[in-house]
């Protein structure tokens, strides 16, 4: 919890009694009392122990809430989550969730009115039924204040009950200025998947296709090795000191001491651009510029260069950097398009040469390739990006 709270306020919405504990022979969930919705404030000062937050704001001054912080998060839990929320009857719990959303929206509106908290600093997050509650939260804030919450993040918005409602009553992109949705349990109800598969926000992410997330074995790819001048691959170092002006980085490390590279920094990123591109936190960022080889009119020749020239040069560089004491665990390699394909070969080459894997590879692809795959807006062209 502490890592999330540096410089932020977090309001956790806990529904502890809206669905009563299950008892033998009980046939339905009783309609909850909206006063049973509790709010807890988490900040850097009390990251592990939530401070009960007054709905009427009567004792707001006695809390650690500060409207001037960079961001205020509102987190709403979902079905069978947290405290005593254990009832298994979905329909009544779903109706309760809508009431909860309205209640939370009312609180957010009050905070805005009393403290001047800007809408732009509010990020509301909800899981399952909590994600559906966000829709009502957003509509309430818009109705009360005339403006939308800046960002909403829906985590597996609940499908049972909501699928029969008007789509306008489901979480949707009209509920906030920017709504992003992550689908990780959105397959068939028969298979126990309980969230929507359809896109619901401005950006929708589908890790590993969006349904259950079992571990999947990696499959080795095939490659062709050919062409290109290895000297056309350039490296540039970006750090906090020179964030806007990359420092040419020596491939042979002969002048490494004259650069700002520091192996002790928390993370080193290696970024490889894609086809017809070139390169332009306290970490090392090494940008790999192979524009002279990537801008050829023949895509297939550029692809061969990505798998040959870029692979050889970047893997050699990474191997050399590990000899300076840079741990594999601090290396994060990022690639786009052909650069992403080059990273697969990079990872295998580094493993073969050093016996250890690069800690993290981030590839911009449209099929399921990694332990976690994201599909913004279904992975088609995203006009807002």
Each residue of 187-201: pLDDT tens digit?
776 667 778 888 889
pLDDT at 143: 94
The DSSP symbol for 369 reads -
Residue appearing with tokens 């510029």:
289
Residues of the chain with CATH 3.40.50.1820: 2-209, 230-367
CATH superfamily of the domain spanning 230-367 = Alpha/Beta hydrolase fold, catalytic domain (3.40.50.1820)
SS3 199: coil
Architecture category of domain 2-209 in CATH: 3-Layer(aba) Sandwich (3.40)
230 near 206, Cβ under 8 Å?
Answer: no
Q: List Cβ neighbours of 61 (8 Å cut-off, separation of 6 or more).
A: none
Q: What is the pLDDT of residue 302?
A: 60
Contact present, 52 and 38 (Cβ < 8 Å): yes
Q: Is residue 112 within 8 Å of residue 145, measured between CB atoms?
A: yes
Q: Coil, helix or strand for 139?
A: helix
CA 207, 213, 218, 219 torsion: positive or negative?
negative
Low-confidence stretches of the chain (pLDDT < 50) are 1-6, 15-30, 80-89, 215-228, 272-281, 296, 363-368, 381-385
> What are the tens digits of pLDDT across the range 129-169?
888 888 988 999 999 999 999 988 898 888 877 888 888 88
């Amino acid at each position: 919890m502490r890592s999330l709270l540096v410089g932020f306020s977090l309001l956790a919405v806990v529904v502890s009694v809206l669905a009563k504990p299950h008892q033998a022979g009980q046939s339905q969930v009783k309609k909850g009392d909206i006063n049973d919705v509790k709010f807890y404030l988490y900040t850097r000062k009390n990251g592990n122990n939530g401070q009960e937050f007054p709905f009427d704001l009567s004792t707001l001054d006695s809390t650690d809430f500060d409207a001037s912080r960079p961001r205020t998060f509102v987190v709403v839990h979902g079905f069978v989550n947290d405290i005593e929320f254990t009832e298994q009857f979905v329909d009544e719990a779903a109706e309760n969730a809508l009431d909860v959303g309205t209640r939370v929206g009312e609180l957010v509106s009050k905070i805005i009115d009393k403290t001047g908290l800007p809408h732009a600093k509010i990020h509301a997050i909800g899981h399952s039924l909590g994600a559906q509650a966000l829709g009502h939260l957003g509509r309430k804030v818009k109705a009360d204040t005339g403006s939308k919450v800046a960002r909403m993040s829906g985590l597996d918005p609940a499908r049972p009950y909501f699928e029969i409602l008007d789509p306008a009553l489901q979480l949707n992109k009209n509920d906030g200025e920017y709504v992003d949705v992550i689908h990780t349990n959105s397959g068939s109800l028969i298979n126990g998947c309980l969230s929507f598969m359809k896109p619901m926000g401005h950006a929708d992410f589908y890790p590993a296709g969006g349904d259950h997330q079992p571990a999947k074995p990696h499959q080795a790819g095939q490659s062709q090795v050919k062409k290109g001048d290895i000297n056309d691959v350039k490296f540039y170092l970006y750090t906090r000191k020179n964030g806007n002006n990359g420092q040419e980085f020596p491939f042979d490390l002969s002048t490494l001491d004259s650069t700002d590279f520091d192996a002790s920094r928390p993370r080193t990123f290696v970024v490889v651009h894609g086809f017809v591109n070139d390169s332009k936190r306290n970490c090392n960022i090494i940008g790999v510029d192979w524009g002279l080889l990537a801008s050829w009119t023949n895509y297939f020749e550029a692809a061969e260069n990505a798998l040959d020239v870029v692979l050889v040069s970047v893997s050699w560089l990474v191997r050399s950097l590990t000899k300076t004491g840079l741990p594999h665990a601090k290396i994060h390699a990022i690639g786009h398009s052909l650069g992403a394909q080059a990273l697969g070969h990079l990872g295998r080459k580094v493993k073969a040469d050093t016996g250890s894997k690069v800690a993290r590879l981030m590839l911009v692809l449209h099929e399921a390739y990694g332990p976690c795959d994201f599909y913004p807006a279904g992975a088609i062209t995203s006009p807002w990006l």
